[in-house]
Structure 1
Amino acid sequence: MAMSSAQTVTIDGRLLRLTHPDKVLYPATGTTKAEVIDYLVQVAPVMLPHLSGRPVTRKRWVNGVGTSDAPGDVFFEKNLPDSAPSWIRRVTVQHRSHRNVYPVFASVADLAWAGQVAALELHVPQWRVDDLGESLRPDRLVLDLDPGPGAGLAEAVEVAHAARELLADVGLEAVPVTSGSKGLHLYCSVDGSRDAEYLSSFAKQLAVALEEAHPDLVVSSMAKAKRGGKVLVDWSQNNGNKTTICPYSLRGREHPTVAVPRSWDELDGDLRQLEYGEVLERLRDSGDPMAGLAPQTPDRLDTYRSMRDASATPEPVPSERPRPHESDELRFVIQEHAARRRHWDFRLERDGVLVSWALPKGVPDDPSRNHLAVPTEDHPLEYASFHGDIPKGQYGAGHVDIWDSGTYTASKWRDDEVIATLHGSDNGGLGGVARTFALIRTGENWLIHLMKDQCSDPPADIGFVRPMLATLADARDVREGRWAFEMKWDGVRAVIAVDEERARIFSRAGRDVTASYPEVAEAARESIAPGTVIDGEIVALDAQAIPSFGLLQRRMGVEKAREVQALIDEVPVTYLAFDLLVGDGRSLQDSTYDERRRALRDLDLGAEILVTPEAFTGSLEDAIAASRRSKLEGVVAKRRDSRYVAGERSPAWLKIKHQHAQSVVVGGWRPGAPKGFGSLLVGIPGPDGLRYIGRVGTGFSDRQRAELSAILRRGRRVTPPFVDVPADVATDAIWTSPSVVGEVVYAGWTGSGILRHAVWRGIRKDLGPDDVHIESKE
């Protein structure tokens, strides 16, 4: 796989963009990224079974491993970034104090992507997840034989033989693996009847027994002081929260060594750690010594075949195991099925099969009404073109028509949620219009939801980029990796796009708001070169030079030139630029945060109202303290190696607030003053509609009360927009169309999902109802 420049390639039916293929990841041997990817592609047939169904933690060296004199930068990565391809399976794992969204690698393309992002080491637990993402009990036990100072591989082999005999006494057969580092791993297959706590305790007993039998050779304690000249039998790898290097994974050592399964006969020879080229040579001559321990990947069409008689039905019943379709496009089909009960079958291509749901009430055509979606067995890809009659007496007997078919793209594919945009045929049931559907698991059931269009895209010549969004977090989430810290400004997000003729300002949702801030647009046109797109925030500073959201609201939504000019002197605004998305007409979204920030500083924004605040260079604690001293909202932590993922909420950007804030949709009010209201009734959109989350009765200025009262009365309606408003609240409530978005601060949530002590902060004219989601339930 020799590559001299960045290119998009097809690997195992998947499109993957490979960049910097000539980057040297192992300087001592000159091994490049292209060679790492080539190794992963070749080793995939034996490596994937050991990864099958296991959440993968990656250890990445994006700038290479370095040398013994200058080790390379490295970080662990648990969460799968939003920038990862949508076809990689994601599973959410709830740990004791947090949850992570891990990848599960199942294809050659998955491994190639790992090589592309320099994830050299792949670590997995001893347990797997099922098809629904639920954690299973461990199916293997591992002992890590780690030589301490003064001991080496020879001593580890001696301990391995002793451990093998001890394991055999309890009916367990061990397979040795040279770890690619210093020592050995011993793996045993277990039947999955015991949990991780039991296996960890059992492994500890084995370690202690080995130490008692060989006190001069073995230590079972993690204390470093006890390890001199001995081999640590590390039993803790069986803890449910621990991971071990996957067999056939590269190691981030000075040389490209590999964790390699070995035969017991090899251990008594001239044993050493092997490099990747030697591993490939071994595999050409022999198989995987650990193959018997790898769980067999189930054939995803077994259930389908078991329900059909190939000699009696015209449906396709392939005998071969499914393989990904060799195409750059993924297919969908929706079939109308006149069986015992008429329904529609909704099928999306994934991993060589059509993942399928039955829709008893058909495909939803109204975003406010969700339909039930019942998961069914995977179907073969050939079913995408099937139509005709299934004979009476056969499973699913009845007539099948193709309601619509075509291709689709997935923006999300998790075990509990799938979001796919379907591009059907001109005369199909979708009307030849691209439609985006969300399939959402709610308990044991699934729902299918027709997504609303967020907004129409601005003209392409302007180059608008939908902003990347941050994930709400706390300081505990900012651990691994290299981070930059920026202040969280109390303003509104704005993207400035400059072309040859003008500068335009867009809101987060893509609405042109140039008319509201003409002085910012004029400064941008005069000081920024054409072909530039900048991401930032518009703020209004109070008398103490502190951003004031309340003050800024006076400028938001005002577009009449006379009114705007009157406000420019009264409420001046400043644009704080914090990211450069396009420079000289070239997209920088695939560049790292550090690279984009350097390019932004090089613009040298000189206008008084266009400012580039410096990122905070100290610790997170120092950044938070500085934010508090400046009376700001909080801090945004950004991974310094992260790319810009347009329109996505990413764990690479984490916002840490000093107080809880929540965007809400106003659905009604309770009477108060003769011409006003006593409190607002607010909610958050969900799969079933607008969910009521409480009342807000404080925090309003007289100006805000008057403005809100006029807007709400214009949208007055008879029926409540909420799906679950309590009876005592509805008694004297007055309802309004749910179009106004506001922001509140609050003390917390009740057990029934109601905001406690909510205080109004202001209208969010930059957001629409569909932009509102739960920020936090803490």
Structure 2
Amino acid sequence: MGLREYRRKRDFKATPEPAGAARRPPGHTFVVQLHHASHRHYDFRLELDGVLKSWAVPKGPSFDPSVKRLAMEVEDHPLDYADFEGDIPDGHYGAGHVDIFDKGTWEPEGDARRDLARGELKFTLHGEVLRGSWVLVRTRREGKPQWLLIKHRDEFAGAKEADDYVDPETDRPLPRRTATTKTARSRRKANPQRNQRGATALPDGSEPAAASDAAFAPELCRNQSTPPRGDPWLHEVKWDGYRIVATIVEDSIRLWSRNGIEWTERLPTIVTALRELRLHSAQLDGELIVIRNGRDDFNALQARLSGANNLPLNYVLFDIPYAEGHSLRSVPLVARKEYLAALLARRPHPLLRFSEHQIGNGDAVFAQAMAAGLEGIISKRADSPYRGDRNGDWVKVKARASDEFAVVGFTEPRGRRSGIGALLLARADAGGWRYIGRVGTGLDNDLLRRLRRRLAGRVVSTPPADISRMEAPDRATARWVTPELVVEVFYQGMGSQGVLRQPAFKALREDKTVADLQRESSKTALRPRRGKASRTPPQTAGSGRHVVITHPERVVFPEAGVTKADVADYYRAVSEWLLPELSGRPISVVRCPDGITKACFFQKHSGKGWGEHVHGVPIREKNGTDTYLCIEDEAGLLELVQMNVLEFHPWGSRFDDLEHADRLIFDLDPYPTVSWARVAAIGRKIRGQLESIGLQSFARLSGGKGLHVVVPLSPGVPWESAKRFTKAVAVAMATLEPGECVAVAGEKNRRDKIFIDWLRNSRGATSVASYSLRARPNAAVAMPIGWDELGRVGQSDRYTIHNALRRLAARRKDPWEDINVIRQSLPDMA
């Protein structure tokens, strides 16, 4: 198409848009701009043949593969337009404000020119917001250059919209982190100033802060099965050693293990090497390794520390959160690494190494690591701050799964084996330890004898762990010990009995304690303390303690770093609050067999293989009788989790009285531009309207975008009455607040308003249960709250699998404590 049409439409003396005269080297840029013209839309542009091929997408790209977004092809734009932001004056073509929404690189999944001409262009985006595989498909409508923009199903797909990345208050794109990184880099190049000591200049974004030689919390990794894709990630070798952080304050140089144990006296050569950097103050993060036969060797490192060899220790450095009186924690990682590399290059030392990285091409880096026989890679968001926790900015990708376990026992040796036969292992569980398997492979005779000596003084008479998964013959020969030693073991997934498959010993982890394992497990497995407000579920059929969760390592929420085991641990922890919401009611569930980035679906009917505690209850329908799902106890709950259930949606009536509603739901569903403050205000007004007719109500964060106002009824009312009443309330609110809410569904009615969804109040309709997870990227939780909390929570998905249990443990009272004891019913509406 060329730029002739683009230039014909514009007066470059009056508009700030680029004329396209500048020459730029060819590349693979893509850009999406939010354009507030006469009709708000997104401009989607791909660089091809020296121009930006362009489409106007009225509703913006959708991350949902089932959504096909109209994309109107427009004139080609110059490459300079990829950097354009600003105001096009009134009276000129495209008048209005333009913001860059997202920017990055793209790559075709075929011959781009040919596919574009044919009308089906498949491509991969590497942006901050838009990532993964997409397709543009031309429609067959004559005379109209219309296309459809569609997201392919991959790890980046989900229930998200472009507008989710726009500030609802300003209607401007939220800040892009890659822009921060690039801006900081360009500023450093433009102003290479030096600090007072002649060292490399501190990066932009560093802030003055007091120095400390105390240990600091290191950044931690989440496990992931495949490397993240795109330029926002950098990838490093996974070093096989001990994590060590260093602090420097004047003449004091101290070395610490990851759990805050001082190692300074054990590593004098590393202290001497760090002194050669001549830093007044710093915090350094790295890995202590030993090189043998050209690569890092963990067993050689352990032997070196025990005095069994004289191989030199090496300290591989990969981060620097503090330097020369300044905190660098808010500086993007890639800038911190550039600064660290410059420090090490300025005064090189043979024992100090810089951990090199590559930006983007994670799959290729991982493949190279595997070809070299390495254990895996560490992938890190290039623009991430240093937070000192496990937040998902760093992920570990291993070729061979391994994990750390506590030693809870051993077996006697047989044949020529000496010391012990096998180690008995356990994983931290809520309130204790759970047997996870045994390992004997990979232990040499010398280590077997040493382990026997260390374990001999720890022998106890009773098992220190739940051993229900252990075979009876093994129990008879086991010798039990107090859990104190930690070992790392390779394994090939979990067997049908919930124990390790093909385990092989990797290393004795002297740098970790059983307390570390318990702390890491408590992130999801910690059961909140029970208080006066607890609502105990019926104890009808057993606990879920012995339900086997297969494939516990499967990643269910990739962005949140949550596995199937994490989901099971969460539901164990909240079962005493969740089960009263489900017990005695038909339920529908959302199942995601391959995690939330793949196909998920609703299911309400029971079937074979669900588990002995998952029941089917016949319910009469218009066209016959169907068998609905029902559970009554923790075992049934976990059997559904084993079937990959993430969400639970109960009916508003019970099995013993299906024709009468005992729960009414007003679901406040805001348009993306609506602020939480407006949702909260409407929620309070609905509460006030209900109180004026004598009805108490309760508030629940949906875990999505909205708020549920829940009204308990006792006695219940016929479904037709429930539907008529809730519709009347919704219509009345829409009449009183016409600028804020609507009672009619439909996109055109809802723009910039809150839809009061009353349609859930009919026989067979469901609503998400309190404490249920939501199948959303951040693993949000539907959380009951008090009305006095409404203004403080800030958003509906405030609580997630990572912080919900802390909330339950901290709250003094259950805000829904009285929901099942209130006696109220609907007023007469005749």
Bucket of the pairwise TM-score, normalised by the shorter protein: 0.3 to 0.5
TM-score by length of 2: 0.41
